Amino acid sequence: MASFRAQQSVNQRKTWMLLGSMFSLVAFVVYAVGLYFGQVGFSIVPIAVVIALVSVWGSYWASDKIVLTMTGAKVITEEDHPQLYNLVQEIVIASGLPMPKVAIVSDAAPNAFATGRNPEHGVIAFTTGLLEKMDREQIQGVVAHELAHVANRDTLVSAVAATTAGALALMSDLLIRMMWFGGNRQRNSGSNPLALVAALVALILAPIAATLLRSAISRRREALADATAIAYTRNPAGLRRALETLAEDSTVVNQKSTAVAHVWIESPLDARSTAKLFATHPPIEERIALLRKMENGQL
């Protein structure tokens, strides 16, 4: 049953490897830019990084308020839903985290999310559909998954990933424009057309690669949250049955805003329209199979 610890460390390690790849990608682009554009190219780098930082970290800092507004979640007190409050308190004790704000989204589709820049500002929310369709053990599994996101500081991880991907996208955008206007020619008269094409291809591909890495990180964090949830409840069956209910249910949360898609326990975007490589969540069947293995002690 200690398999969840192994799962946790694997997912933590892979997150670091993916973040490392993202930073290497940035370093590579910066290097290529310097090689090709010289001093002018380098001046782009701080501009892109600052813009990315400003645009991402504002929403990171206020993530609890922004996500609550965008999803229409209402923060509740103990009297509004004593059982849900009890369930959250149980996992708070199991995890040693501070008590988060608990919110309910009025929506028939079963789903849940967690946000907040740190555990002290943690918010976890559940749709009314989830609370109606699931029993106590299932909701406990979902609560544990959401609090695992809080404990693992996934809002921070996704903010770092978004900043890196954003800076890269900005950099290549600005540089492609510069190439378009031939800003390099005076400085670099000896450059051959082949290098120009190579630079252009690299600049187009780098942001796509960054987006792929960002999705891969998100999937890792979901798998990590599943493993951490089991570390809290020591009961894979609860979360497994909860995911089965989510998989069977065809209703989808009544908002298709991709901006907050990554925060939900089950992706609100239609799985078929999203290519697997760009998916923010691992396929739900895989998550169920992994939890079932933990249940049977096969891991």
Q: Which of 272, 297, 243, 271 has its CA nearest to residue 111?
A: 243
Q: Which of 78, 90, 146, 222 is catalytic?
A: 146
What pairs with residue 76 in β-bridges?
102
β-bridge pairing 112-115 and 123-127: antiparallel
Confirm whether 146 is a catalytic residue: yes
For position 90 contacting another protein by CB under 8 A, the verdict is: yes
Name the residue with tokens 């609890």: 64
For position 82 contacting another protein by CB under 8 A, the verdict is: yes
CA distance 112 to 123: 11
- For another protein, the closer CB: 89 or 274: 89
Point out which span in 45-53, 78-86, 188-196, 291-299 binds another protein (CB under 8 A): 78-86
CA distance 150 to 64: 11
CA distance 288 to 291: 5
| Span 28-67, contacts to another protein by CB under 8 A | none
Binding-site string for another protein from residue 176 to residue 215, where x marks contact by CB under 8 A and - marks none = ----------------------------------------
CA distance 154 to 114: 9
* Gyration radius (Cα) of the chain, Å: 22
Selected binder of another protein within 136, 177, 256, 276 (CB under 8 A): 136
For position 25 contacting another protein by CB under 8 A, the verdict is: no
- For another protein, the closer CB: 136 or 187: 136
For position 3 contacting another protein by CB under 8 A, the verdict is: no
Q: Which residues would be at the binding site for another protein (CB under 8 A)?
A: 82-83, 86-87, 89-91, 93-96, 136, 140, 232, 234
